[in-house]
Structure 1
Amino acid sequence: MARSLTEVPIVSRRAWAGGLRDAGINASSPYAAADTAIDTLSGYLPENRSPDAEILPGRNRVTARARDLVRNNGWAAGGVAKEVDSVIGSNFRPLLKPDWRALGLSAEWSREFKEQVEARWRSYADDPRLFADTTRAQTVSQMFGTAYRTYLIEGEAIGVLNWRRFRPTKTCLRLVDPDLLSNPNGAADEARLRGGIEISRDGVARAFHFRQAHPHQGYFDAADAFRWKRIAREGRNGRPQVIHFFDKVRDGQTRGISRLAPIVEKLKMEDHYARVELQAAVINAVLAAFIKSPMGPEVIDEMFSEGGGEGFLNYQGARGQFYGQSNGIRVGGARVSTLYPGDEIGMVNTARPAAQFADFESAVLRNVASGLGISYEQLASDWSKTNYSSARAAMIEIWRGWTARRASFAQGFCQPFFMAWLEEQVLDGHIALPAGAPDFYEHWPAYARTKWIGPGKGFVDPVKEAQASAMRVALGLSTLEEEAAELTGTDYADNMEQIRSEMEAMPEGTLHPMQESFAKLLGNTGGAALDDARRTTSED
């Protein structure tokens, strides 16, 4: 009987399972990822644990390995340095944007307030006397760079805000080694105290316990290594006292984990393989040649058995005496070396490094670069196979990640410090609020609203990217302030002030490049508008 085209054949469960076994898949779960009968996954049985149960027990070991790699592995050190330089750079600073609409104040006040606050911040942050640092060792930008480096390697950045009465500005920041954040007396973690952090019923970190000295620092701090100090997260009026920044990836997570954790194993494998290849290459270079004796094992055994070893010793002595003497003749002034009868010259095979070494290293570095969030070309400094399109695409992708990390770090670590500094400036009267202005503490975030500026993106093709920037501004898709911050890492207001002074210093009749129109920048001639600008400059 003919089967209908729409009829579904009935297959017994046993036949179905047998077919799967024939195909190499013994399915016991609707999802292959959950199937324990598959050979490739049978031993892969990770556990589901809480975030702190995953992180806290092994955190110290992960941190120690990450630190060691950054100290001793060039790829790890270079990758960390590149990210710190690109995200924080040498002059990480706030671009104040007070929310004047939320405050019910004017845009004119906003501009004046911005200029006044930023001027005082520059004097404070860049003071060569280093009063912003409790230890007086770094400027503010340098402290931010150190904190970001600690976050990258150890998974978290910690700072304590201090008050030093006899400094020009009393607010200062003390960076804290994450190793010092721990439970008092080494107590075990519990529901309300984990990793040195007191946690409220709502899961809020309300206080931190810091060991007063590193346990492995030395005998001179032995007593302080067993003393802890409790510091509340916030003081009166909500002033920050402890700043703790880390990537929170799951609910209930208390401490951070090194960003290098997923690539520690591969970095160590690559490092070991590279060392072995280098050692082999050095040995091959040192042992370029050797002398081969014609005597085999059988001959040596025979000489030992017949003469009790004297025959062999006499033979070796004669060879040593021969090579210790000047065993050559001269023909026309040139020396011709001779060998002991029966000896031959052998050359060491110098096929090092191994043919597959470069491919192996490239594959490992691509994995490491992906883990760090940068491109292989940046990590390896290898641009031999890169064209403009691929470089541009890589830059856009990487810059998106760096921009997100910069914004996250700025809001989580830098902004609380800035708010504490601004509070002091307002309360001490250095920065005055207008009459009738809203209460500072009720609108603290609105007064301190900022965008943090770091290094610019840079250019792959300066001309094309400058033209694209001008087009975005011309079409209303961006602003000159945004473009200056993104491309060059500068403040547009500062740029304009400098350009204004340069225009005043230009010789009569000379046009400053800034006075060129966007049309000319986009490739047009400028025409009559350009001539008018020149005439105006000459008349002025």
Structure 2
Amino acid sequence: MAKKKNKITGKNLKIAKNYANHGASKQKVVFKGLDDTLKSVNTDLGKEVKKTLMARSRELWMGSPLATGALKKLRTSVIGSGLRLKSSVDNSILELSISEKKEIENKIEKIWKLWAETTECDVERTSNFYQIQQLAFLTSLIDGECFALLPFKKRVGEIFELKIQLIESERCMTPPEKANDPRVKNGVELDSENCPTAYWFCDDPYSITKKKYRRVEAFGQKTGRRNVLMILEKERIGQQRGVPILAPVIESLLQLGRYTHSELTAAVVSSYFTVFLENDKDLGGTGFGEPISDSEEKDHSEKNIEMGPGVITELPAGMKINLANPTRPNTAFDGFVKAMAIQIGAALELPHDVLLNKFDSSYSASRAALLEAWKMYRMRRAWIIADFCNPIFREFMDEAVAKGFIEAPGYFENPLVRQAYLNCKWYGATQGQIDPLKEVTAAKVRLETGLSTKSREIMELYGDDYNEVIAQREIEKEEGNA
């Protein structure tokens, strides 16, 4: 007898739905109210959405201790006192001798310092290159991106013409006459391949009168030079504007700030010790049977009853104070804030120990927290080097070589030679050491086993330049022998 084929029952169909019965379910109550509509990146980050996120992020920066602390922690750890240039020309292309290579690298670094360590690099003449780094990075965190223009401006008494001009994010907007142009999205003009060709900047976005707009090409038409730099962390393909780093935790930070303020207010109120003297006079007269005058009745009705440390106040006749016990301070406050800090820190890639600057665990746990944080710091440091430091250094080298300050044969004739001269590294603040002896011992072992170099270890441990350390050691040796 032939076997009957199994029929697909309703139960089997339900199992076969797979994701439709779980994360993509349309029947489960837990998903009610969740927006299931797919939207383009320009819709998700439209003009009004972008403005709202920026405004709320700035408000948290100005008024939320946890948000301010997180952003300052990122700025201090990623940038610190500034990312400094270490020239490392590619000798496989230039084929220089060791002494020639060292000589050209030292000259590049010295010429660079003449520009970077003065306000000559700033179009506003107020900050040096390292201070501009800090401001550009912090702005990109708060607003989601930071724009930088690279104009040439000749000034009396200055050596170089290259300047850096930072532009706030809200100044990049679409002009009214370009509102219906599909190529211009949120102030960024694109070509057919979604590549930025120009940016539209408003001179005064807060003006109530007619606004003036300026179109700045992303790249020079004749030279291909970068006219506009944009520091942002992309989250999606085709994204042209950045998202503030605080965007996923804006609500959590806002509510946590309100909770903290409420607890602080309650603790302050409960700390007041006030003595109230109740007046036992009848409403119709004084204690001696004399009627209350109109002026006395008015004084009682308008009297303000305030609490304060050690205050003694008299109550009007017929009034009583009934105080509720606020049971402050709240013993659960610290645990709740820590639990929220863990979630907020997870979104910001900051362990709660680092976010709260509270290292009360073991050595291993504290070191693990620092190492995890430094993974993110190094990643963001690599981003700002690629988006900001390296492009500016290229523009600087073009001017320095063109003016004859640096001799680089073949620099403008051969693109490979130019890139060889532009090869460099950037170093900054290190992650610090919980136990310096262990860190130095580990560095010694790496050197002995050939896993590292002295230059790298000095840079990693102290953030210093190897050549400068060696030069200083030679000076100290000569002084010791004198």
Which of 203, 213, 223 matches 1:237? 223
CA displacement 1:247-274 (0-9 Å, x = unmatched): 1222111111101101111000000111
The question of 1:382 aligning with 2:358 is answered: yes
Q: Over aligned residue pairs, what C-alpha RMSD do you find?
A: 3.3
Change (3 A) 1:344 1:62: closer
The question of 1:465 aligning with 2:439 is answered: yes
- For 2:58, the equivalent position in structure 1 comes to 67
- For 1:490, the equivalent position in structure 2 comes to 464
- For 2:303, the equivalent position in structure 1 comes to none
CA distance in 2, matches of 1:263, 1:79: 12
- For 1:327, the equivalent position in structure 2 comes to none
Once the two structures are TM-superposed, the CA of residue 175 in structure 1 deviates from its matched residue by: 0.6
- For 1:266, the equivalent position in structure 2 comes to 252
CA distance in 1, matches of 2:345, 2:357: 11
**Structure 2 counterpart SS, 1:198:** strand
CA distance in 1, matches of 2:319, 2:398: 88
Which of 142, 160, 167 matches 2:131? 142
**Structure 2 counterpart SS, 1:163:** coil
- For 2:90, the equivalent position in structure 1 comes to 99
Which of 28, 45, 64 matches 1:38? 28
CA distance in 2, matches of 1:186, 1:456: 49
Q: What pairs with 1:398-417 in structure 2 (closer than 5 Å)? A: 398-417=373-392
Gaps of 5+ in 2: 1-5, 301-314
The answer to which of 369-378 and 68-77 deviates more is: 369-378
CA distance in 2, matches of 1:394, 1:97: 33
Contact kept? 2:354, 2:370, Cα under 8 Å: no
CA distance in 2, matches of 1:257, 1:147: 15
Contact kept? 2:82, 2:133, Cα under 8 Å: no
CA displacement 1:206-263 (0-9 Å, x = unmatched): 11111112x22x67xx55xx11111111224232211112112221111111011011
CA distance in 1, matches of 2:418, 2:383: 19
Change (3 A) 1:317 1:105: farther
- Which structure: larger Rg? 1
- For 2:366, the equivalent position in structure 1 comes to 391
- 1:421 maps to amino acid: F
Change (3 A) 1:81 1:29: closer
- For 1:246, the equivalent position in structure 2 comes to 232
Once the two structures are TM-superposed, the CA of residue 78 in structure 1 deviates from its matched residue by: 1.1
Change (3 A) 1:343 1:457: closer
- For 1:178, the equivalent position in structure 2 comes to 169
- For 1:90, the equivalent position in structure 2 comes to 81
Change (3 A) 1:12 1:161: closer
Change (3 A) 1:102 1:248: farther
- TM-score (structure 2 length as normaliser): 0.85
Which of 428, 432, 436 matches 2:403? 428
Contact kept? 1:240, 1:417, Cα under 8 Å: no
Once the two structures are TM-superposed, the CA of residue 107 in structure 1 deviates from its matched residue by: 4.3
- 1:206 maps to amino acid: T
Once the two structures are TM-superposed, the CA of residue 278 in structure 1 deviates from its matched residue by: 1.4
**Structure 1 counterpart SS, 2:470:** helix
- TM-score (structure 1 length as normaliser): 0.77
Contact kept? 1:184, 1:228, Cα under 8 Å: yes
The answer to which of 458-467 and 166-175 deviates more is: 166-175
Which of 438, 455, 462 matches 1:481? 455
CA displacement 1:468-507 (0-9 Å, x = unmatched): 1111122121111111222211111111111111111114
Once the two structures are TM-superposed, the CA of residue 349 in structure 1 deviates from its matched residue by: 2.6
Contact kept? 2:20, 2:26, Cα under 8 Å: no
- For 1:357, the equivalent position in structure 2 comes to 333
**Structure 2 counterpart SS, 1:229:** strand
Change (3 A) 1:65 1:415: same
**Structure 2 counterpart SS, 1:210:** strand
**Structure 2 counterpart SS, 1:412:** helix
**Structure 2 counterpart SS, 1:490:** coil
Gaps of 5+ in 1: 1-9, 21-25, 295-309, 325-338, 509-540
- For 2:190, the equivalent position in structure 1 comes to 199
Change (3 A) 1:317 1:462: farther
Which of 267, 285, 289 matches 1:314? 285
Contact kept? 2:171, 2:203, Cα under 8 Å: yes
CA distance in 1, matches of 2:36, 2:130: 42
Contact kept? 2:411, 2:417, Cα under 8 Å: no
CA distance in 2, matches of 1:355, 1:12: 59
Change (3 A) 1:51 1:181: same
Which of 263, 282, 307 matches 1:277? 263
